[in-house]
Amino acid sequence: MALVTTAEVCDTNPQLIVSGELRALHPVFQIYGRRQVFSGPVVTLKVFEDNVLVREFLEEKGNGRVLVVDGGGSLRCAILGGNPVVQAQNNGWAGIIVNGCIRDVDEINGCDIGVRALASHPIKANKKGVGEKHVPVNIAGTRICDGEWMYADTDGILVSKSELSV
């Protein structure tokens, strides 16, 4: 999707929007990382103020996937920091969407990966390893499931039930 914007996708696919096959996340995310445009198949994770499972996922090969982390919208601590993002970049993840906070913003902004989060916060997360992998999550007004496709650029974030041919 390098040459087609999310706005163009929406303009040319109104039937997919009406049917719910294509959904736009509410515009609540800040843009981090050097890769402002990214897309890929979704992997979901649900945690709350705990980043152990986030780190575990990003230690795996990403193969161009997008990790979608429902952090419950917490603004009390960061569930993603610079070290895991560097690891994600090196392991081939396309992007990370965090319904929560991140930290180490300067380090993340130096990485060739796309990151979206609600805000930055200096306090680190808990390390209990509590959460759910590969479950449907509801973030930014949208239900997102494992295996769906995520498309992000500076206009917004779209999720589709299948890969779009653009």
DSSP three-state, residue 77:
coil
Radius of gyration for the chain, computed over Cα atoms and rounded to the nearest angstrom: 15
Where does the pLDDT of residue 2 fall: very low under 50, low under 70, confident under 90, or very high at 90 and above? very low
> What residue numbers does the annotated binding site for Mg(2+) cover?
104
> What residue numbers does the annotated binding site cover?
81-84, 103-104
DSSP three-state, residue 8:
helix
Q: Indicate the residue type of 119.
A: A
Taking phi over 0 as left and psi of -120 to 50 as alpha, with beta for the rest, 53 belongs to alpha
Give pLDDT tens digits for 105-139: 999 999 999 999 999 999 999 999 999 999 999 99
> What residue numbers does the annotated binding site for substrate cover?
81-84, 103
Closest C-alpha among 69, 79, 11, 1 to residue 40: 1
Q: pLDDT value at position 3?
A: 62
Q: pLDDT value at position 108?
A: 98
CA distances from 66 to 18, 41, 45, 95 (A): 24, 6, 11, 5
**Domain residue extents for the chain:** 6-160
Give pLDDT tens digits for 13-70: 999 999 999 999 999 999 999 999 999 999 999 999 999 999 999 999 999 999 999 9
Mean pLDDT, rounded, for 73-83: 98
Class of domain 6-160: alpha beta
